[in-house]
A = this chain, B = another copy of it.
Amino acid sequence: MTQPSVQKKFGRLLLTGAGGGLGKVLRERAKPWTDILRLSDLRDVGPAGDGEEVMCCDLADNASMLELLQGVDAVLHFGGISVEDKFVPIMQANILGLHNLYEAAHKAGVKRVVYASSNHATGFYRTTDVIDADAPLRPDGFYGLSKCFGEALSRYYYDRFGIETVCVRIGSSFPEPKNARMMTTWLSYDDLTELVRCALFAPRVGHTIVFGTSDNDASWWDNRKAAHLGFRPKDSSRQFKHLFPDTAERPDDGDPATYYMGGPFVTAGPMY
């Protein structure tokens, strides 16, 4: 994928969660967009490369977050916990952490955030529904619930302070679909990158919610309300159809994971 050229880069772009799966992908691809890419994670992300700076810190630590956001022009927030977990750690990282991030962003004058939300914010819709960004929230666990919180919090910072956010409800972003469900939810790395680019550079985004999937044959999500972003996926899971051929064998009637968009997440939590 050839990226469109950039006339005027960001001075400093912050990428949180730089050590995570998608963080690593974006670390490579975000460089054309910025003079300096500031990387952050709780995990070690290795040494800073050309045009990079590393500032590892804990989202739940308010003081560090204020420092982290200093001098930043825009944020790609991929940090926090990205799987189902117990409530308290999710609250620390994804609720308190998100508050700290936005509060620091507000103080630092940041005007644009791309927020890694998740399809699990609406994971309790049925796989026979088709929803859009205005469908009422139906989280499928504590992780999804923290993303509902994040979407509401970023809406508040937009309405109150004018910080623009694109909430990307990421489907399943991996090199290729890992199971039949991901034939519907897959987001290729190229399409992820393009979606983040659109979210970052669109002249005005206000507070936009967009579902992050490639142009897969089947879909549960209607992105019409985000058409102003200009995101046009170029990949499709149909190239992997041979990996998941049609089958007359259906999962057991009693298996909720096949009835709900969230798949196995819907029965994963709460865990004690």
Contacts and interface: CB of A to CB of B under 8 A. Distances in A.
B246 A129 contact: no
A206 B126 contact: yes
Nearest to A8: B247
Interface in A134-187: 134, 136-141, 144-145, 148-149, 151-153, 155-156, 159-160, 162, 180, 183-184
Interface in A178-223: 180, 183-184, 197, 200-206, 208, 216-220, 222
The CB with the most chain B CB atoms within 10 A, among A128, A145, A204, A270, is that of A128
Interface stretch (A22-30, A43-51, A75-83, A248-256): A248-256
A202 B222 contact: no
Given A197-B246, A248-B8, A124 B230 contact: no
A110 interface: no
Contact of A159 (B7, B124, B184, B230): B124
A63 B271 CA distance: 16
A229 interface: yes
A9 B258 contact: no
The CB with the most chain B CB atoms within 10 A, among A74, A149, A241, A259, is that of A149
A224 B139 contact: no
Contacts of A151: 137
B222 A222 contact: no
B5 A245 contact: yes
A128 B230 contact: no
A255 to B, nearest CB: 10
Contacts of A270: 103
30 contacts: A4-B246, A5-B246, A7-B245, A7-B247, A8-B248, A33-B246, A34-B248, A74-B248, A88-B96, A91-B95, A126-B206, A128-B205, A129-B228, A136-B155, A139-B153, A144-B156, A148-B148, A149-B149, A160-B269, A184-B228, A184-B230, A200-B246, A201-B247, A202-B218, A204-B258, A216-B230, A217-B230, A217-B232, A219-B228, A219-B230
